[in-house]
Amino acid sequence: MGDAMLLVSNASAGSTDEQQVTAVADALRTGGDLIHTRSSGPADLRSALGAFAGDRVVVAGGDGSLHLLVNLLDELGRLPDTAVGLVPMGTGNDFASGMDVPEAPAEAARACLEGRRRRLDLLETGDGEVVVNAAHAGLGAIASDRAQAVKPVAGPLAYPLAALASGAGQDEFQLEVSLDDEVVHDGPILLALAANGPCLGGGARLCVGADPADGLLDVLLVGELSTAERAGLAWDIQRGEHLDRDGVRQLQGTSLRIRGDAVDHSRDGELRHDITDATYTIRPAAWDLLLR
């Protein structure tokens, strides 16, 4: 038998199907000893990680579950030496989509066994959190919040539908955005995004070409748009044509600062409310993901 592996599934996630989790566990057991914990929150997961002495942890869940795992491993000082496997079982699975992780849970589990460690970057916040996929302020965070309510019905369409509803009536925010200490925007803005991976909002490739192993963060800025332009932008995002629009810019750098109006920030889908000053800095080669 090989070294032990820890499988973490979310006991409270509505989109996590128990039969699929069982199939994932069965697949992982073919590679060696497996410990399976069903976590209902940070305390459960912290306890499971504290009791586990191995260096391979597989998370069956979405972006939020991966976000929690990576943050706890970082907090415990175990992130650099732990290989993380990902079985996408959330609604959007944005990071998994950007990394071409197999969609079928059992196939993703096999990829965790057969894959090699790939060293990836993280985004580090000024308040001590790390972000695996993307953090954004403004309209995107509002859409993420509203999408939670329609996920059970709309599934992967929850985010674009919420984006349309949010964009129609939301005023712009007054924000100063600096990239590597250079002001790149100062004034009204709908969305400021710091991305490590390319996908956001149910798999849409918002930051085309973003590579979470290149030592750079990608920045997407959406300025002032009319109501009609906002509706068109939402559909253009789903088609990958949004960068052709006036008022939409994609940039690259190593550190982004967003300050101004109190605005919600979404970090891997986890909301942080009423932030007036935030920084996102790339942490190169910070962790290992198991990829085939």
Of the pLDDT bands very low, low, confident and very high (cuts 50, 70, 90), residue 142 is low
Higher pLDDT residue, 141 or 285?
Answer: 285
Fold adopted by 130-284: Tumour Suppressor Smad4 (2.60.200)
135, two tokens: 């953090």
Query: 168 pLDDT exceeds 50?
Result: no
105 conformational bin, left if phi > 0, alpha if psi -120 to 50, beta if neither: alpha
Mean pLDDT of the chain: 87
Higher pLDDT residue, 49 or 141?
Answer: 49
Residue linked to tokens 């940039």: 251
Fold adopted by 5-114: Rossmann fold (3.40.50)
Of the pLDDT bands very low, low, confident and very high (cuts 50, 70, 90), residue 289 is very high
Q: H or E stretch including 227?
A: helix 227-239
Neighbouring residues of 195: CB distance < 8 A, sequence distance ≥ 6: 133, 134, 206, 207, 210, 217, 218, 219, 220
Higher pLDDT residue, 73 or 206?
Answer: 73
Residue type, 219: V
Query: 145 pLDDT exceeds 80?
Result: no
Residue 237's pLDDT is what? 76
**Domain ranges within the chain, ordered by starting residue:** 5-114, 130-284
Coil, helix or strand at residue 193: strand
Query: 115 pLDDT exceeds 50?
Result: yes
Query: 88 pLDDT exceeds 70?
Result: yes
CA pair distance 71, 52, nearest whole angstrom: 16
Give 147's Cβ-side CA count (13 Å radius): 26
Residue 120's pLDDT is what? 98
Q: Of how many residues is the chain composed?
A: 292
CA pair distance 200, 216, nearest whole angstrom: 17
- Quote the DSSP letter at residue 155: G
C-alpha dihedral sign at 262, 251, 129, 112 = positive
Residue 153's pLDDT is what? 43
Express as a percent the part of the chain with pLDDT over 90: 70
Instruction: Decide if 5-114 and 130-284 have a common fold.
Output: no
Coil, helix or strand at residue 167: helix
Query: 65 pLDDT exceeds 50?
Result: yes
Query: 158 pLDDT exceeds 70?
Result: no
pTM above 0.75, yes or no: yes
